Structure 1
Amino acid sequence: MELLDRFYGIKQAAGLAVVIGKDGSAIVNYCQVSLDGKNLSFEKKVTGLSLQELGKQVKTGIPLSISISGRGVLYKQLERVEEIGPSNFSAVLPNAAIDDFYVQHFPSGGHSFVAVIRKTEADKWLDAISKQGLSPLMLSLGPFPIAHILPQLNIYDEEIIFAGVKIVRSADKSWEKVSFHEEFQAPYTIKVENEVLDQQLLLPYAAAFQLLLSGKIDVVKADAPALGSAFEGLISDRKFKVNGMVILLIFFVLLLGNFVWLSGLNAENARLAAEVSTSARTSTDQQALSDEIRQKESLLRDLGWDGGINKSSLVDQAAALMPAEITLKEISVNPVDGAADHSFGSLKFRERKILMRGESAQIILVNEWAARLKSKKWVKNVELESYNFNNELNTGIFTITLSY
């Protein structure tokens, strides 16, 4: 509630005390106050105005509380009752209709202090004030609203005397009696904390104070429906504006959060897009490199390259195992594949093959060599492709294929 009051509550208010003389003329005293957090300050204080001077002295648009006292305001002190209504109004004014009056009830201790004014009389003064461009929001009668400001004053006795009013209180600060006489004047300077306040300004200050803090205190006011509607309209208007500002602020925060979120997503999307692009380039580069490697491997295979094996060493080892009776005529490493298609001028080689041709009078020697070759770990297979005895040369001609 305190937080809502801080937003919706009234920050500045004015009190206007209309003191009606015996001749029916009115003297107006004015006090304007403002509230900043818990600090209350006086903005303007004017005494002894006429109704015609209000338009020059009072700023329009400031919430205004009216206090009427003097001629036309009737007071009645009763044993304390909960409320004043049609059923018990006769105790205030016998043979009178409550609908003809604005009624104010102020209970204190064991007493009820009732102040009434005829609606026609009060409306006359309220209309005169409205014609000055002012809009009253609250009406109080007599001195009773000062109950809210007494703790602020430098008054410590049971009797409170100011501006023709004497209030008698009990030891527990409950009101016992209220009297009115022109001789009742404040015996010393009245202060609100360090602020000197003319005794004529107590009522307008009390009226402004209770309007300013209307959401936090039990306001002492007359039941004037028109003013109540104006006051509720002011609060509703403030709530509407504040709620509108809050909604706009919420939308702004949401939009700001959405902007930050989308900015983060865009940054993340940009980062991921860069990663995907890099990955795609890497994948493309890898594919291109793989294709290039396959092309080169194919070219190397076409050229008969078989991984950089030291073929001279293999040939030396094979020759070292050859029996002395064999004559080696030819050794071919990765020989041309005669059975393959060599169209378009390309050659096909028998990969990882060593072709050995030679002469041996006996085939058993060739078989012995083949057996010796198979004992080598690097030899995968040895195949005697052919052995033919040549009568002219009186020896056998053989061909051995070694796979490594």
Structure 2
Amino acid sequence: MELKRTKKEIEIVSQTESQRDWDAVKSYFKPDVPVVLHLDGVGILIRDTESEGQVSENGSSFQSDDSDFIVRRYAKGDGTGELVSIMRTELLQTVLDFCVKNGVNVVDLKFAPFPVAAIIPLLASVSSEVITGRWKLLLKDGKLHSFLANSDESRVTYSIEGELVSSSVIALLAACLQFLSGDMDDIPLLGRPREEYTYGYLLKKGGIVVLGVLLLFLTVNYFVWDNLRGRYAGLRMQVANNENYLTELSGLESKLKKKQFFVDKYIGNDVSTRFSFYADRLASTLPGSIRLTKMELQPLMQKPKEGKAILYQEKTISVEGTSRHMTAISQWIKKIRSENWVKEVELVSYSVDEKHHTGNFELEIKF
């Protein structure tokens, strides 16, 4: 952007539809936008002098013996002397005060036309001179040699890597490129603005990085926490279900102990004391069409005789009864055989009572 400052106001030389007044231009200067200035005009002197020592081709800036001036020297391409630009410190302070007042964050500054020397190799179709603002820089063997006034202030357009640049702002472009490459002038008045910009930039970018890391951490933490919460809820549900199962199991074990107690007390675990259990099981399987007339548990093998031991049929039950249907007897025998404690069932006898139309039977059950 090309501006021209008078005593009372700033005139915008490179106007566009969005840059017609200073208030519109100021909107571009955000606090985090670095601004590079190039100054030229009244108050800036340039000289062509003999060389007094080795000077960088791109120039070197330092305070002269008189602190009221800032001097910058550029070596001629043929080594026969140097080109010097001089600016009053008071003028620079006035410019910087104006920039601070209007929120312009100045981080580097060049003055006079000689900074163009740094980009001469980039200019296409340049032979003997380069026009920059109100000056003509004379070249010798493609390097800066001298200068003349551009009396008619004519303007030309140069091509740099395919980009077209007006001669009125080519010195500013050179200043910006030197800033981006790290070649900044050591001007004490710019020390504090540079520090404020640098620290502010680092603080902002660092804050963004820290905030990004924090948000990433919180996001990861949320998903991890949500996953753990889901797993915790699932485990709690499993624990609750297991507690229900344990309660149910405890109740069943209690019932089993009670039943086992009654079995042990009234039936017993020994075979000789389980007769009541066998009798109960036979009665529970008995069909309604059969009537029992006799049941003997471990019946006698013979009638007892005095002086002789009594003999029993061990692990045997003898059953006698009547039924009108032989099929009912057969079905009952099948049911008895299906009992786990029964080893064998035998129909010992069967006879028919013609008078009462019934069948008399006798069963022998081994256990």
Q: In 2, distance between residues paired with 1:192 and 1:141? A: 21
Number of the residue aligned with 2:85 = 115
| CA positional deviation for 1:229 | 1.4
Q: Deviation per CA, 1:153-178, whole angstroms, max 9, x where unpaired?
A: 5444353234343334455x5x3313
| CA positional deviation for 1:217 | 3.6
When residues 272 and 108 of structure 1 are mapped into structure 2, their CA distance, relative to the original with a 3 A threshold, is farther
| CA positional deviation for 1:269 | 0.9
Q: In 1, distance between residues paired with 2:139 and 2:306? A: 152
Number of the residue aligned with 1:145 = 115
Matched, 1:97 2:97: no
The unaligned stretches of length 5 or more in structure 2 are 280-293, 316-340, 342-366
Number of matched residues?
Answer: 290
| CA positional deviation for 1:29 | 6.5
The unaligned stretches of length 5 or more in structure 1 are 1-13, 33-41, 47-52, 90-95, 313-328, 333-353, 379-403
Number of the residue aligned with 1:382 = none
TM-score by length of 2: 0.59
Q: Deviation per CA, 1:252-280, whole angstroms, max 9, x where unpaired?
A: 22222222222111111111111111111
Q: In 2, distance between residues paired with 1:30 and 1:98? A: 34
- Give the root-mean-square deviation of aligned CA atoms: 4.7
Contact map agreement 1:54 1:132 (CA 8 A) in 2: no
**Identity across the alignment (%):** 19
State the AA in 2 paired with 1:67: H
State the AA in 1 paired with 2:36: S
Q: In 1, distance between residues paired with 2:18 and 2:161? A: 17
Q: Deviation per CA, 1:40-95, whole angstroms, max 9, x where unpaired?
A: xx99788xxxxxx7556554635433222244323355353368688xx8xxxxxx
Number of the residue aligned with 2:38 = 67
Q: In 1, distance between residues paired with 2:206 and 2:35? A: 24
State the AA in 2 paired with 1:201: V
Number of the residue aligned with 1:180 = 148
Number of the residue aligned with 2:350 = none
Q: In 2, distance between residues paired with 1:268 and 1:107? A: 75
State the AA in 1 paired with 2:150: E
Q: Deviation per CA, 1:211-253, whole angstroms, max 9, x where unpaired?
A: xx7353423x4x4322231122122112212222222222222
State the AA in 1 paired with 2:260: E
Matched, 1:294 2:294: no
When residues 104 and 250 of structure 1 are mapped into structure 2, their CA distance, relative to the original with a 3 A threshold, is same
TM-score by length of 1: 0.55
| CA positional deviation for 1:373 | 5.6
State the AA in 2 paired with 1:69: D
Q: Deviation per CA, 1:113-162, whole angstroms, max 9, x where unpaired?
A: 44222213443455566666655443211123334555665444353234
When residues 204 and 273 of structure 1 are mapped into structure 2, their CA distance, relative to the original with a 3 A threshold, is same
**Which structure is higher in RCO with an 8 Å CA cutoff and minimum separation 6?**
1
Matched, 1:157 2:101: no
When residues 188 and 67 of structure 1 are mapped into structure 2, their CA distance, relative to the original with a 3 A threshold, is closer
